Amino acid sequence: MTLLIAIDGPAASGKGTLARRLATHYGLPHLDTGLTYRAVAKAMIDAGSDLDDEAAAIATARNVDFSRLDRSALSAHAIGEAASRIAVYPEVRRTLVAKQREFAAQPDGAVLDGRDIGTVVCPDATVKLYVAASPEVRARRRLDEILHNGGQADPAAILADVKRRDERDTGRADSPLRPAADAHLLDTSDMDIEAAFRAALAIVETARNA
Ligand code: C5P
């Protein structure tokens, strides 16, 4: 039986970690679709292109190779910020969504995470999760991660940044971030990753056996 798991949520909600854990648990391939937008942004930055140049963003999106998405090379904060700027272009989205759907169409299924998986990319997914957490909790998690990696950051700047990204992702005209009507909401504000994983697994198991 095919098991297609769609996971959406705002930046730093923990959806990526949950997606990876679920993919490992079920032995399914996983695509972090944020990396596909990040890859477009990074290629443009490397080429010296202006992120406001829509035609350049479209051409770059057509050339993104999904088999070469390198998480560590794409993880920089500035790349995430740039990704949310090029993610507003409808033709960039159409191009990446077509490739994401190809990835999703594997015989045993797949796990995809992003902002529009349950609403646009995989509307017929077996199960849809919408992972939420308050902006304060998400900013705190990001700060902890930066400190853990030996970096430094201003907590107020991180919170402002989380809120700005939320505004851009929920406010854009094409495929704004929002829960699908049939998504299961999982608020992880008061959960650690183990508790969140157990809760996510329970939701998937129920849907799978339905
Ligand atoms: O999840 P991540 O932080 O890597 O995503 C970077 C940006 O890419 C997001 O802020 C969002 O603007 C965009 N994105 C999107 N649709 C997706 C995944 C990411 O618009 N499915």
Please list every protein residue whose CB sits less than 6 Å from any atom of ligand 1. Answer: 11, 33-34, 37-38, 80, 83-84, 87, 114-116, 165, 169
For residues 179 and 118, state if they share a domain: yes
pLDDT in tens, 136-181: 999 999 999 889 989 999 999 999 999 999 999 999 999 999 999 9
- N- to C-terminal Cα distance for the chain? 12
For residues 82 and 148, state if they share a domain: no
Tell me, in angstroms, the distance from the centre of ligand 1 to residue 16's CA: 11
Provide the domain count of the chain.
2
Whether 122 and 112 have beta carbons less than 8 Å apart is answered as: yes
For residues 123 and 208, state if they share a domain: yes
Q: Which domain holds residue 79?
A: 34-105
- Listed residues 77, 105, 133: the one ending a domain: 105
Tell me, in angstroms, the distance from the centre of ligand 1 to residue 37's CA: 6
- Listed residues 105, 120, 139: the one ending a domain: 105
- For residue 76, what pLDDT band results from cuts at 50, 70 and 90? confident
Amino acid identity, position 180: A
For residues 180 and 124, state if they share a domain: yes
Q: Domain holding 131: CATH number?
A: 3.40.50.300
For residues 48 and 62, state if they share a domain: yes
Find how far residue 78's CA is from the centre of its chain: 16
- Listed residues 87, 105, 123: the one ending a domain: 105
For residues 156 and 54, state if they share a domain: no
Residue identified by tokens 């490739």 is 99
Share of the chain above pLDDT 90, in %: 92
If you take atom 11 of ligand 1, which residue's CA is the nearest one?
A: 84
For residues 71 and 18, state if they share a domain: no
For residues 142 and 96, state if they share a domain: no
For residues 101 and 112, state if they share a domain: no
Tell me, in angstroms, the distance from the centre of ligand 1 to residue 204's CA: 23
If you take atom 19 of ligand 1, which residue's CA is the nearest one?
A: 34
For residues 23 and 82, state if they share a domain: no
Tell me, in angstroms, the distance from the centre of ligand 1 to residue 18's CA: 16
If you take atom 12 of ligand 1, which residue's CA is the nearest one?
A: 84
Whether 197 and 18 have beta carbons less than 8 Å apart is answered as: yes
If you take atom 5 of ligand 1, which residue's CA is the nearest one?
A: 34
- Residue 172, classed as helix, strand or coil, is coil
Tell me, in angstroms, the distance from the centre of ligand 1 to residue 209's CA: 31
Instruction: Please report the atom of ligand 1 found closest to the CA of residue 15.
Output: 1
Share of the chain above pLDDT 70, in %: 100
Q: What are phi and psi of 185, to 5 degrees?
A: -80, 135
* pTM (predicted TM-score): 0.95
For residues 75 and 63, state if they share a domain: yes
Between the CA atoms of 103, 173, 135 and 122, what dihedral angle is there, to the nearest 10 degrees?
-20
For residues 112 and 182, state if they share a domain: yes
